[in-house]
């Protein structure tokens, strides 16, 4: 994602109103208030992706097989209820969905439309400065979701994100985020995509959890 765009969203999250924070909590994304400041270690992510076996969907570190699980990503985000999970939605017409989820009029929504998605720059410019806008909380969730958990092609947001946002207050988004993250590793390994899809943020935090278990042996007091 464009760095200037990511900075805009970080700034938006850091100064959002109580209404915005409450809505992030309501849809299980409040962890971003803290995790959004985590700096991505791109060399680490690239190195780790070299150990991803896309045929078996596991990391192979020497003879040790590891793969992120829903429960692990859920623990990182503070979620534990998997009774109602959010599966990847189907594609829909972008302009009516912009109206349904964000109350964007047809003419304005048409100007935001880009290929199979919509312009994230336009959404941020429209909502980030207007706290009393009717669908401000939902717009904030869209920006957070596509910037930290379902990252993709720079400023264009896939239309399925809007469908997902409309259901996040009832269903757990972790399986969808994990699925996109593992698919992103597959596509990187197969050189199908020049950028990383999924959540590099959660992937990095998960890696840190495991690498923290690997420490240098303590020096014996009799060693000189």
- pLDDT digit string, tens, across residues 10-67: 888 888 878 888 888 888 888 888 888 888 888 888 888 889 998 888 998 877 888 9
How large is the average pLDDT for residues 124-153?
Answer: 83
Between 138 and 15, the more confident residue is: 138
- Biggest CA pair distance of the chain: 78
Sign, CA torsion 159/146/41/80: negative
How far apart are the C-alpha atoms of 35 and 14, rounded to whole Å?
11
Question: Would the pTM of this model clear 0.85, i.e. be above it?
Answer: no
- 108 three-state secondary structure: helix
Of 4, 5, 40, the C-alpha closest to 143 is 5
| φ, ψ for residue 186, nearest 5 deg | -60, -45
Burial 124-141 (b: 16+ CB within 10 A, else e): bebbbeeeeeebbbbbbb
Between 218 and 37, the more confident residue is: 37
Strand partners for 60:
65
- pLDDT for res 209: 85
Is the confidence at residue 224, as pLDDT, over 50? no
How far apart are the C-alpha atoms of 2 and 221, rounded to whole Å?
51
CB atoms within 10 A of CB 153: 15
Between 133 and 114, the more confident residue is: 114
First to last CA, the chain: 51
Tallying the residues shown for the chain, one arrives at 224
């Amino acid at each position: 994602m464009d760095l200037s765009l990511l900075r805009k969203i970080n700034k938006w999250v850091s100064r959002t109103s109580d209404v915005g924070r409450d809505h992030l909590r309501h849809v299980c994304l409040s962890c971003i208030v803290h995790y959004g400041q985590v700096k991505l270690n791109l060399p680490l992510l690239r190195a780790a992706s070299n150990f991803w076996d896309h045929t078996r969907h596991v990391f192979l570190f020497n003879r040790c097989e590891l793969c992120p699980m829903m429960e692990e990503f859920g623990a990182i985000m503070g979620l534990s209820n998997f009774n109602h999970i959010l599966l990847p939605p189907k594609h829909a017409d972008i302009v009516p969905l912009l109206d349904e989820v964000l109350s964007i009029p047809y003419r304005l929504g048409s100007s935001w439309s880009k290929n199979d998605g919509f312009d994230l720059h336009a959404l941020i410019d429209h909502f980030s400065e207007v706290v009393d806008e009717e669908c401000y909380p939902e717009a904030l969730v869209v920006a957070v979701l596509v910037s930290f958990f379902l990252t993709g092609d720079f400023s264009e947001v896939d239309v399925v994100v809007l469908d997902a946002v409309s259901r996040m207050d009832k269903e757990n988004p972790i399986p969808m985020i994990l699925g996109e993250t593992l698919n992103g590793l597959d596509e990187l390994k197969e050189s199908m995509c020049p950028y990383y899809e999924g959540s590099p943020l959660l992937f990095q935090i998960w890696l840190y959890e495991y690498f923290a278990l690997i420490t240098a042996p303590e020096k014996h007091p009799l060693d000189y």
